[in-house]
Structure 1
Amino acid sequence: MSSYSSSNILKLLIALLICGLLSTPLLGQSLFIEEAESTVVIQRDNLVRAKAEALKDAKAQVILQAVGRFLDFNSTVSLKPLLQQHFLEQPDFFIESIRVISEGNTSDLTEFTLKIETQIFRSRLLSAFRKLGLPTQEERISSRDVFLFYDADNALRQTKVLDKFLAQLQTRLRPYRIRPKVIIIENRNLTLADGLTARLDLLANKTTVNSDGTALALLELKLRLSPQPEQSQQGKLSAQLIFWSQKADIPESSRSATRVRAKLSYTSWQTEEIIPQILDKLLLEWTPVILKTLEMDQGLAEQLKLKFKGIPGPIEEQLLIKTLFQNNPRWEKLNLATISSKYLTYQALYLGKQGTILREFNAPPEAPFRITSVYWENTFLVIEVKWKEIPATLEPFLNTLLESGLVESESPEEELLQPNLKVPLRTLKQTYSLPLTSSVYDHIRHRGDSTLFRIDAPVDNETKEANNVLSLSWSRLGKTNLRPKLTLFDQDRKRIKSYRLGKKKKFKFKFKMPEGNQTFYLRIADEVGFLEDVTGSYQSFRYVLSVD
């Protein structure tokens, strides 16, 4: 009875922990690192102003680099005005903390250079993308076909102008995964008062639904010149993008209520300049139309029961849930249902289309697991997972701690462990192979972050058995408000022992390998773990670890 109760209590505690992690974004995965260097000219020997300009430029660089993690290069270029407006006007909103790595000016006081390391809020970046209707590179969303009525003055329907206009429009729509089917309106004045019916009449011989039966969105682009180019070289170009609602039981006057406008004045008609300028102005306004268009592609919310098989432990479970669901707008209200020794079950709302559910479970190549099978089993969608055990290699640590700015100059050299390896900077950490008689530098960057090392014990050539006593040494660098924790696991990833280090700066211990083991794992983490609404200084720690 006692064993049964202990087992159930343990399962309940694990369930509560994981439910808590899933109720909010995983804070341990919500920050990532970006570095940037900026060099500015010192004007009139004003070094203070130069520092401010360098910092402003460096912050803009890290935000654009961060955006580049989620958008491909071509999308970043085509949406540049929009990205500048929403990400660069208030860059501090996306930055959790800044550390100055180096700064200095030239001897003749002509230039000032600043290099910074920042921690970026992943969740705030993603929220901004959601508000703009922009999917990220990671999201497995196919392109959506929409009808686009092109209603323009005669001068803007000429082949030379029309081809350039539509090509550049498509370039700006491509990041949204929107693919327009263009219907050119010729020789008729189609007004808003003519309503939705007049537009549908133009599609009489065309397929107006997707393969799943949902209607294609209807957009209309109106372009008007005033005066016409043949009357004057100077003039104004006005653009209007309209979303036509096809919902039943709404007033006709409300069907074109979602529309945006842009205007451009010019002194002479230059096609190569005017087309990108008016489209960039429209780009800054068209988000409401884009969001309405994307709503047309959403399916009805469906409650699903998911069963995962092959997940070895809670840490791996967190990584899998983050990889598959955290950056996927088609899933909501994901909740843990049951824990079993052979599987885990979840409940979730799926907002995508019924026929695309199975395609949701394709792990990216860099994921630490692969999905071997997805199938229906009664009312459960079963996802079988195989975890990859391919330890990543550590990078060489080329400078001294002093040269890297990780210790103060007055620190006694004899007390420092000089690392020869370091953990690579990555958003999603892997298991790292740590050779014996080596030292590694690492940075636990925020609450909930952790690093897992795999360590292989040396084998005696005569007995062919592993040397079973190892010495480990850990030293923290600098201040922290976190409480470091070391946890040892055997070769099957079963926990052996944990050490809570609290405010200790140094810790040494000897470890006796379990009989029959030639490998063990060591995890460095924050004792407190995942907390909500934690910001500010020293919410991280740096350390050096050595194993002999």
Structure 2
Amino acid sequence: MNKYRLSIIRIISTAFLFLGLLSAPLMGQSLLVEQAESTIEIKQDNLVRAKAEALKTAKGNVVLQAVARFLDFESMIYLKPLLIQQFFEHPDFYIESIRVISEGNTADLTEFTLNIETRIFHSRLLAAFRKLGLVTEQERIPFMDVYLIYDADHALRQTRVLNLFLEQLQIRLRPYRIRTRVILTKGRKLPIEAGLPARLALLPLKSAEKRNGTNVALLELKLRLSPQPEKSPQGKLIAQLIFWSQKRDFSESSISTTMATAEISYKTWNTNVIIPEILDQLLLQWTPVMQHIVTVNQVSGAQVKLKFKGLPGPIEEQQLIKTLFRNNPRWKKLSLDTISSNFVSYKALFLGPLKQIIQEFRSPKNAPFRITSVNWEDNDLVVQVEWNEVPMPLELFETTLTDDVFSEIDSEENYIPEPEYQVPLRTFKQTFKLPFAKAVYDHIRHRGDSTLFRIEVPKNMNVNEENKLINLAWFRLGTTHLNPELTIFDQNRNRKKSYLLRRRKQFTFQYRIPVGQEAFYLRISDEVGFLKGVAGSYQSFHYVLTAN
């Protein structure tokens, strides 16, 4: 395996090492924050060229790390050629901004290392997934069964070769949520010119009633060797993956097929090497085929009324809706219908088969809620939710601030407490428990970003029920063009008060916890929130927060 292939696998493995330690990103955020590092050999003392190559590699690495948020590790490995082509080689389209954290070369000028932090367009990554026909790991879309006709030369129908081909193909189809039902031609001639009827005739009898319909996805894998192995040890393998359309107005085979073709030459046949290699070449070409398969099971859509019960408040409602629907192409035209004291209802268009709609409401992994029941009541689909939010832990503070920002903390005239903890950089921003009498650092990275803290009186403090008065202090660091806003919610997430700070750099305030309650919430955000197309400098702010 060459150095380039090893480096790409290392990139993917590193991405999953980070992501395994951290939670998933909030789907509602428009930008993803990622860091990456690259080290490049300095050739012929050309430091300028090494810097350019390091930046290009780091940008590719950071976009691949963002992609790894949406695919499991195995999919990242087996789709590697496609992901490199789509994301690693063209990273600039996905990157909104870049900040250089550190850079430098070794003393002997043999290597240059660059470390960057980027903000990546969440929407553009998802658009690329749609274009490729890929399904993200977060989407609860069931597998679609398709028929796969395996038409191969005699040498490629031998058990070991056949099984490896089908196994490797299925692994690469899994991220598309495609599951194959294999039909063997058993040596019968099946030329393209024979058209769709010759393929439909091979389907099992139990599928006969579907042969005239349009709801059966039909693929064909053609494999040809030239020359045959018994004539020469070296040769060429040609692979074709064909989608056969069953639309009635497509009578000619040239119109009714969408085809991906790949070929490789070999000096000696090695099954374990050649099969993965030809499939890797094929997947670089098969995107049009995948796009056609997706359309087979699409229906015009059914209007559905959804009723959600068990939501504590509007913040939880927003998070639930984003988690279930924001990244799910099977739902369209979602709109709020009714708000009641014990439920909230939405209207939506469901594009999948209605018999599969209940599968859409399985409890997501790592979500702060679980779905306890889903059932039809009259014409409403009722979803019962149980909220089980656990505040996320903070991290120990690490000095990653620029010198001018960090100097404000050290300045005696500003009286800014030095942070002991920080909000994790990439953690899914659910809720963080604000420690008492400890300074916490955070960075609101763009207009749509926000942080929610849960604040409660420590149990070891002797405080009267009527005297739960909490003092809070907020200190902004550095320059910003945003308008920071602090919003207080009571224990039941009811909004109590907001403070718009505008250009203020320090602000102190108090909140008395009502009798019968043990905690309250504080959200730090921008006044406006996300504005599409708004960019520029200082579209973020740093701050330190304390509670006493």
TM-score normalised by the shorter chain: which range applies?
A: 0.7 to 0.9
How far apart are residue 412 of structure 1 and its match? 4.8
When the two structures are superposed, what TM-score results if normalisation uses the length of structure 1?
0.87
**SS in structure 2 at match of 1:243:** strand
Q: Residues 401 and 544 from structure 1, CA distance in 2 versus in 1: closer, same or farther, beyond 3 angstroms?
A: farther
In the alignment, the residues of structure 2 paired with residue 223 and residue 217 of structure 1 have an alpha-carbon distance, to the nearest angstrom, of 20
Q: Residues 201 and 501 from structure 1, CA distance in 2 versus in 1: closer, same or farther, beyond 3 angstroms?
A: same
**SS in structure 2 at match of 1:520:** strand
**Do the aligned residues in 2 keep the contact of 1:299 with 1:354 (CA within 8 Å)?**
no
**SS in structure 1 at match of 2:293:** helix
In the alignment, the residues of structure 2 paired with residue 410 and residue 466 of structure 1 have an alpha-carbon distance, to the nearest angstrom, of 37
**Do the aligned residues in 1 keep the contact of 2:480 with 2:539 (CA within 8 Å)?**
yes
In the alignment, the residues of structure 2 paired with residue 208 and residue 542 of structure 1 have an alpha-carbon distance, to the nearest angstrom, of 65
How far apart are residue 421 of structure 1 and its match? 1.1
Letter in 2 for 1:320: L
How far apart are residue 330 of structure 1 and its match? 0.8
Q: Which residue of 1 aligns with 2:541?
A: 541
In the alignment, the residues of structure 2 paired with residue 376 and residue 411 of structure 1 have an alpha-carbon distance, to the nearest angstrom, of 57
In the alignment, the residues of structure 2 paired with residue 201 and residue 469 of structure 1 have an alpha-carbon distance, to the nearest angstrom, of 78
Which digits, 9 at most, give the CA deviation of each residue in 1:300-352, with x for residues without a partner? 41111112223333322221111000111110111112333333221111011
**Deviating more after overlay: 480-489 vs 287-296:** 287-296
Q: Which residue of 2 aligns with 1:413?
A: 411
**What count of residue pairs does the alignment treat as equivalent?**
519
Letter in 2 for 1:70: F
Q: Which residue of 1 aligns with 2:8?
A: none
Which digits, 9 at most, give the CA deviation of each residue in 1:378-425, with x for residues without a partner? 22112222322432222221x3466x7572558753233211111123
**SS in structure 2 at match of 1:86:** helix
Q: Which residue of 1 aligns with 2:31?
A: 31
Which digits, 9 at most, give the CA deviation of each residue in 1:185-242, with x for residues without a partner? 23332112222222222225454689xx984321111222233333334433222221
**Deviating more after overlay: 259-268 vs 470-479:** 259-268
How far apart are residue 279 of structure 1 and its match? 1.6
How far apart are residue 273 of structure 1 and its match? 3.1
**Do the aligned residues in 2 keep the contact of 1:298 with 1:352 (CA within 8 Å)?**
yes
The root-mean-square deviation of aligned C-alpha atoms, in Å, is 2.6
1:159-198 matched pairs, under 5 angstroms? 159-198=159-198
Q: Which residue of 2 aligns with 1:480?
A: 480
In the alignment, the residues of structure 2 paired with residue 260 and residue 74 of structure 1 have an alpha-carbon distance, to the nearest angstrom, of 23
**Deviating more after overlay: 446-455 vs 369-378:** 369-378
Identity rate, percent: 62
In the alignment, the residues of structure 1 paired with residue 97 and residue 329 of structure 2 have an alpha-carbon distance, to the nearest angstrom, of 27
**Do the aligned residues in 2 keep the contact of 1:27 with 1:532 (CA within 8 Å)?**
no
**SS in structure 2 at match of 1:241:** strand
How far apart are residue 276 of structure 1 and its match? 2.3
Q: Which residue of 2 aligns with 1:237?
A: 237
When the two structures are superposed, what TM-score results if normalisation uses the length of structure 2?
0.87
Letter in 2 for 1:184: L
**Do the aligned residues in 1 keep the contact of 2:27 with 2:327 (CA within 8 Å)?**
no
**Do the aligned residues in 2 keep the contact of 1:466 with 1:517 (CA within 8 Å)?**
no
**SS in structure 2 at match of 1:438:** coil
1:398-477 matched pairs, under 5 angstroms? 399-400=398-399, 407=405, 409=407, 412-414=410-412, 415=414, 416-426=416-426, 428-457=428-457, 464-465=464-465, 467-477=467-477
Which digits, 9 at most, give the CA deviation of each residue in 1:128-162, with x for residues without a partner? 11111111111223322222112222232233433
Which digits, 9 at most, give the CA deviation of each residue in 1:111-131, with x for residues without a partner? 222211222222211111111
Q: Which residue of 1 aligns with 2:309?
A: 309
Q: Which residue of 2 aligns with 1:54?
A: 54
**Do the aligned residues in 2 keep the contact of 1:442 with 1:543 (CA within 8 Å)?**
yes
Q: Residues 466 and 93 from structure 1, CA distance in 2 versus in 1: closer, same or farther, beyond 3 angstroms?
A: farther
1:134-145 matched pairs, under 5 angstroms? 134-145=134-145
Q: Which residue of 1 aligns with 2:333?
A: 333
Q: Which residue of 2 aligns with 1:324?
A: 324
**Deviating more after overlay: 405-414 vs 256-265:** 405-414
**Do the aligned residues in 2 keep the contact of 1:27 with 1:448 (CA within 8 Å)?**
no
Q: Which residue of 1 aligns with 2:344?
A: 344
Q: Residues 247 and 112 from structure 1, CA distance in 2 versus in 1: closer, same or farther, beyond 3 angstroms?
A: same
In the alignment, the residues of structure 2 paired with residue 152 and residue 328 of structure 1 have an alpha-carbon distance, to the nearest angstrom, of 37
Q: Which residue of 2 aligns with 1:293?
A: 293
Q: Residues 218 and 543 from structure 1, CA distance in 2 versus in 1: closer, same or farther, beyond 3 angstroms?
A: same
Q: Residues 427 and 324 from structure 1, CA distance in 2 versus in 1: closer, same or farther, beyond 3 angstroms?
A: farther
How far apart are residue 441 of structure 1 and its match? 0.9
